[in-house]
Chain A
Amino acid sequence: MANNALVFISITIVLTLVSFALDRQKTILGLRKGLKMFQNIALPFLNILILVSLTLYLVPPSLIVKYLGVESGYWGLAIAALVGSVTLIPAFISYPIAAVLIKQGASYTTVATFMTTLMMVGIVTFPLEAKYLGKKVAAMRNILNFITAIIIGLVVGAFL
């Protein structure tokens, strides 16, 4: 984590300097935009940190390992895929959750599957999607992406 942050900060400083050298005004505009976006998410983000901290205290790691760990097998995969499909969690909130799950012993396969179905399969948003694409097409897209998410989880898990 600390290393990631350091790499991030260094890259950002370099990019900002390059950008500043190329175009001062654009850079200032960009920084303002970034600050505004940060302000918008800061509060929901703090709230989610509270929720995650609380959940982490209430749900013991042994439970996470049992249901989502390496040994959980097909059941873990199925739970991750279904929960990801049904819930509607903003992506930026899903990352801290995923990081905690991994730290507590969930496998990369289940976490990658969970995140992918979360992002690509939307049961709650299906009615909305069907309005744009038509029911059949929307259903087909969700089914294909559901299968894809499981493949992604399995392959990512095999790599890491």
Chain B
Amino acid sequence: MKEILAKQRRYVWLAVYLIVTIASFAVGFNPGKEVFGNFTKFFIEMISFIPVLFVIVGLFDVWFPKEKVERHIGQDSGIKGIFLVILLAMLQAGPLYGAFPVAYILYKKGASSKNIFIYLGAFSSLKIPMLGFEIGYLGVKFTLARTLVSLPLFIAVGYLMEQYLKGKDFKVNQI
């Protein structure tokens, strides 16, 4: 019983909102109607491309499993190393704090500090599923501009961090 309740709780906001909206229309409460107008616009926007986006994300996941890329990442710190960590980052999903465990794996595998920070930068804002969202909401132009401007800057941050860490005993801890 408790479990069922806990599950139902997820729907509380939606339920409250629906009740308030129905009530607003029943008594002619204008703010409620306007909020519903906004909601409908957003909802149509969402339903028109988000399911499609997840088709792409799912297909991407089966064709380019990130484990495969992970295997190839190691000491190579040249252009190829940079390219691989960026690719690895792009294949992932989730918030930045989810990237630190992967940074630890990279560190264990002998990736350079530069590449670890490039990875963190790319992870934060070049993830493919997220780029899909960004294109859908903010347009191709914005996404492309932001991505192209960000990329060289992340790589620069990687180099700067490497300079900063020179001679220091840098390590990524496991927690």
- The interface of chain B, by Cβ under 8 A from chain A, is 10-11, 13-14, 17, 31, 34-36, 38-39, 42-43, 45-46, 48-63, 95-97, 100-101, 103-104, 117, 120-121, 124-125, 127, 130, 132-142, 145-146, 149-150, 153-154, 156-157, 160-161, 164-165, 170-173, 175
Contact = CB atoms under 8 A, between A and B. Distances in A.
B39 A50 contact: yes
A81 B170 CA distance: 28
A45 B142 contact: no
Interface string A22-64: 0000110111111101100001011101101110110000000
B136 A108 contact: no
Contact of A30 (B17, B46, B61, B141): B61
Taking residues whose C-beta sits less than 8 angstroms from the other chain, chain A's interface range is: 35 or more
A9 B142 CA distance: 20
A99 to B, nearest CB: 4
A152 interface: yes
Interface of A: 1-2, 4-5, 8-9, 11-12, 15-16, 19, 26-27, 29-35, 37-38, 43, 45-47, 49-50, 52-54, 56-57, 88, 90-92, 95-96, 98-99, 102, 108, 111-112, 115-116, 119-120, 122, 125, 128-129, 131-134, 137, 140-141, 144-145, 148, 151-152, 155-156, 159-160
B58 A35 contact: yes
A128 B146 contact: no
A38 B59 contact: no
Nearest to A131: B175
Given A1-B48, A5-B136, A57-B31, 9 more contacts: A2-B48, A16-B59, A27-B59, A33-B58, A112-B142, A119-B96, A122-B96, A141-B157, A151-B153
